[in-house]
Structure 1
Amino acid sequence: MERRLFVLAACAFIVAAVLGSAWITGQFTTPAVDRTDGYVSELAARDQPWTRLFRVSDALSGLACALGVALVPRVAREWPGWLALAAFGLLTFVAGVFPLDCAALSDPLCARRETSSGHVVHALAGVLGAVAVLAAMVLLSARWRSWVSWLFTWLGLAATLLTAVALAAGHGVGLAHRAQLTMTAVWLVYVALHLLVSDWDDPDAEAEPRVAPGRMGGVGGARVLPGTADQTAGYGKPHVVVAGDGPAVLITAGHGGAWFHWDAVADRLAGSRRVIRFDRPGLGLSPRSPAPPTLYAEVARLAALSPSHPEQVTVVAHGVACWHAEAFARLHPLCLAKLVLVDPACAGGRRPLPFAGAAGRWLPALGGTWGATFLARLTGPAAHRLLTGLPDPSGVYSMGKVPAAMAGEWLARRDMAADLHRLRAEKPFPDVPVTMISAGRTGERGDGCLEWLAGELGAEHVRLPGAGRRIPLRAPQAVADAVSALA
């Protein structure tokens, strides 16, 4: 999928170059704009006959450029260059939305008119856009170390300086500006070709851990299993944290959860138990998975993390992960000693989404793009603090792979629920102790589902009216007591 993203990004840059070159034919259809001394952007001035066409072309060109940047898979230490190129795309879009009032250099009367704020915004966006694209050229050329890229960069810089000199001299601005835009379009095509032909097996792509010192998972005596701590990008082994000694307790977090949300529970159990916590693919510090999540894949993950026979494991699951735990109990009854379900989700009977499979296959790759990284860093930490009330010291929710993984798990919910319904019909639930902990009181909305599940599994149902949806965070002692009480 990463290769397809490179192709899509390259196509977006080529589209941006083509749309940004609409002036080549437009200058022959708008004779009022001086080809020697008039700006190219004067073709889109409000008083010109083809203003809407060129405004739309400029706006779409900018959006295509920004989309191309968003689709490029993230490579370490290239972010300044791609950020500058994205800024150029957005500024080009702004220039298309806010055109000049009139042909500023071609029409002598234009300078005498009172200009609108849109006219000023266009001029400012044009200047900043020229600076942004030059910065992108320099920064990306420095990373790529390509003489071709540097050639286009120097030609683009020369054309920009020539435009500034011509503007100061009052003659030849149109020719210089056209040369500048031509070099920008040619460089965008070069970027597209570079994405298509370059070998992107860059070891630096997975060598950019964004984790705070001391927060890889091994806190308070916990230890991180070898080979699982620095896989913050790409694909690889899951992040697993083990603390304490004694009978094994395996904790699987709810939707979008990470290992550190269970620190308080693990601290209470580690004195007498061996507590195993892990992050599912794409969540926490675990790398992405090339395949969308499935119920059977999660069951296999629980089985792989469980101790070897004849030792049995106590599984503590939260939210939708309770489905994984129940399926694990039905498929591997000899491995399970006890089961604690914390605020389990109801497995509804709705049909799987028809597009879920195709979207799920794209999401892991999209999670490694600059676009996903930008959105995660912009919204992830604030959203996490709002929902949990906790900081994110490891920067987990600033990684693009996390929202992509969360979206993938949400899309897979209906398929998982359907698989769980089939398992319930085919595999009996083993005779093991089960405790179910939920928030709220008897008779509240959704309580019928929980009561049915408790009866189906023969579970002891413990209610915590004041815990809300964050039981592991607000009532860690209740979870630890449930594990200990089942002994």
Structure 2
Amino acid sequence: MERRLYVFAACAFIVAAVLGSAWVTGQFTTPLVDRTNGYVSELGARDQPWTRLFRVCEALSGLACAFGVALVPRAPMVPAVPRMAREWPGWLALAAFGLLTFAGGLFPLDCAALSDTLCGRTATSLAHRAHLLAGVLSTGAVLAAMAVLSARWRSWASWLFTLLTLAATALTGAGLAAGHGVGLAHRAQLTLIAVWLVYVAMRLLVVDGDEEEQVPLRVAPGRAGGVGGARGQAPDPTIGYGRPHVVEEGTGPTVLITTGPGAAWFHWDAVAVALAAGHRVIRFDRPGLGLSPRSPAPPSLYAEVARLAALSPDHPEQVIVVAHGVACWHAEAFARLHPLCLAKLVLVEPACPGGRRPLPAARSAGRWLPALGGTWGAAALARLTGPAAHRLLTGLPDPSGVYRMGKVPAAVAGEWLARRDMAADLLRLRADKPFPPVPVTVIDAYERDGCRERLPGDLGAALVRLPAAGRPVPLRDPDVIVEAVAAR
């Protein structure tokens, strides 16, 4: 999928270059704009005959450029390619160029500022001034993007375009000061920018479209948001694929904790601290969540069952599984498929599988999300919204910056899209595989709901009902979970 993202990003940059070159036709359709001394943006001035065409082309060109940046997969931050690790300022500047170009299309000039001698004799509108400001800022942004990316790529061709564009920009300023020649220099500048965008597209297709490297696992001691013991994680979990992040502490009977939708290992710190005094507690982050790297495949019920089996102790030792939310489906499926491995099951606020049919469109979208989680667009979205959304929903800080990573919203969306498929698989398992005779406790806090009220009876479980509240049970009532695990 990453390879396809490179192709789509390259196509977006080519579209941006083509739409940004629509001014070429304006030399013939709008003769009143001086080709030698007039700005190209004067073609889209309100008083020009083809204003809508050129404004739409300019706005779409900017959007295509920003969209292309959003789709670019982030370079793998591994020692073999250190020079690629700091491209983000260049891509950020290029995205700013696209957005400022879009703003220039939204806010047109009132009149042909240089070609029309009468323009500017009366007060200009806010849109006119906004267009001029956006033009200056977009020029600075694209020059910064060209310089930074050329330096990171160490490409003489990119440096050539950068220096020529810088020279054309200087000539545009000199022409503006001298009162003639602005149009020629401005047209040369825009041509060079368009050619450079095509070069970026070609580079993405030829140079950066390689498969991402597997990121090795390293184990380091310390808390880092956990309770101690060993912590395994990738050097940069936002990049590439790899093994999940696992936190293990304590000794004694094994307790395996699997978190709810969008949650990370540190949400269970209070439970783990209490249990670690007499148990071996294992927590982990599912692919894309917490500090676990992404998975190349979308989530599925059987993949999560296999993950629980891999993290469980070897036979004949049995494991106590504690699950929250939709992870209760994984735990129940694990119990039905591996009955000899399970000592006890604690289900916290279990989700109801329902009976809705899986959607093919959701399945198709889910296949793209792991790759999209590694793009610059996902990283920007997470940085802007992730920490605030996490604090709003949990009331907790984010000690490891987990919710600033682009892979997390993609993983959350992927699990949400996979819910119907997981539910259908669980319902088939319920029909085919009997539930083993193991102790089960269901801890719930909900309004009256027929589906969720039937679950304790279907599993022969003890029900612990808590008052409904806004925060998840592991955060507000960890002692209840600890008591359920310790109960005989």
TM beyond 0.5: yes
Distance 1:18 1:382, change over 3 A: same
Are 1:299 and 1:328, in contact at CA under 8 Å, matched by a contact in 2? yes
- TM-score, with structure 2 as normaliser: 0.95
1:377 maps to which residue? 383
1:8-157 to structure 2, matched below 5 A, reads 8-75=8-75, 76-157=85-166
Do residues 221 (structure 1) and 228 (structure 2) align? yes
The answer on whether the counterparts of 1:255 and 1:406 sit within 8 Å (CA) in structure 2 is: yes
Q: Which residue in 2 is equivalent to 1:315? A: 321
Structure 1: distance between partners of 2:214 and 2:180: 48
Residues 397-432 of structure 1, C-alpha deviations (whole Å, 9 max, x = no match): 000000000000000000000000000000000000
Partner in structure 2 of residue 188 of structure 1: 197
Output the CA distance in 1 between the equivalents of 2:480 and 2:346: 11
Give runs of aligned pairs for residues 152-191 of structure 1, distance below 5 A: 152-191=161-200
8 Å contact from structure 1 (residues 439, 468) kept in 2: no
Letter of the 1:264 partner, please give it: A
**Residue matched to 2:484:** 482
Q: Structure 1 residue 451: deviation in Å? A: 1.9
Q: CA deviation at 1:204?
A: 9.8
Post-superposition shift, 1:206?
A: 6.2
- Per the TM alignment, residue 221 of structure 1 is displaced from its structure 2 partner at its CA by 2.7
Q: 1:199/1:95 Cα in 2 relative to 1: closer, same or farther (>3 Å)?
A: closer
What are structure 1's unaligned runs of at least 5 residues? none
The aligned amino acid for 2:441 is: T
Q: Percent identity?
A: 77
**Aligned equivalents of 1:471, 1:393: Cα separation in 2:** 20
Q: How does 1:64-463 map to 2 (within 5 A)?
A: 64-75=64-75, 76-199=85-208, 216=224, 219-225=226-232, 230-440=236-446, 444-446=447-449, 448-463=450-465
The answer to whether the Cα contact below 8 Å between 1:231 and 1:237 also exists between their aligned partners in 2 is no
Aligned to 2:82: none
Distance 1:168 1:206, change over 3 A: farther
Report the Cα offset of residue 449 of structure 1: 1.6
Q: Distance in 2 between matches of 1:282 and 1:425?
A: 31
The corresponding residue for 2:7 is 7
Question: Offset at 1:214?
Answer: 5.6
Measure, in 2, the Cα distance between the counterparts of 1:48 and 1:367.
44
Q: Distance in 2 between matches of 1:55 and 1:222?
A: 60
Task: Calculate the TM-score normalised by the size of structure 1.
Answer: 0.95
Provide the secondary structure at the position in 1 that maps to 2:194.
helix
Contact 1:439 1:469 in 2 (8 A): no
1:58–1:93 Cα contact (<8 Å) kept: yes
1:245–1:230 distance in 2 versus 1, CA, 3 Å: farther
Instruction: Using the TM superposition, give the Cα deviation of residue 105 of structure 1 relative to its aligned residue in structure 2, in angstroms.
Output: 0.5
CA deviations on 1:235-267 (whole Å, 9 max, x unpaired) are 000000001000000000000010000000000
Residue pair 2:336, 2:436 contacting (<8 A) in 1 also = yes
Displacement of 1:480 in angstroms is 0.5
Tell me if structure 1 keeps the 8 A contact 2:13–2:68.
yes
Shift of 1:78: 0.7
Q: Which residue of 1 aligns with 2:80?
A: none
Note if contact 1:156-1:183 (Cα within 8 Å) is conserved in structure 2. yes
Note if contact 2:255-2:322 (Cα within 8 Å) is conserved in structure 1. Answer: yes
- RMSD of the TM alignment (CA)? 1.8
CA shift in 2, pair 1:90/1:415, >3 Å: same
1:203 offset after TM fit, Å?
8.4
Cα deviation for residue 155 of structure 1 reads: 0.3
Q: CA deviation at 1:467?
A: 4.7
* Contiguous gaps of at least 5 residues in structure 2: 76-84
- Indicate if the aligned counterparts of 1:206 and 1:232 stay in contact, CA closer than 8 A: no
Q: How far apart, in 1, do the equivalents of 2:431 and 2:196 lie?
A: 60
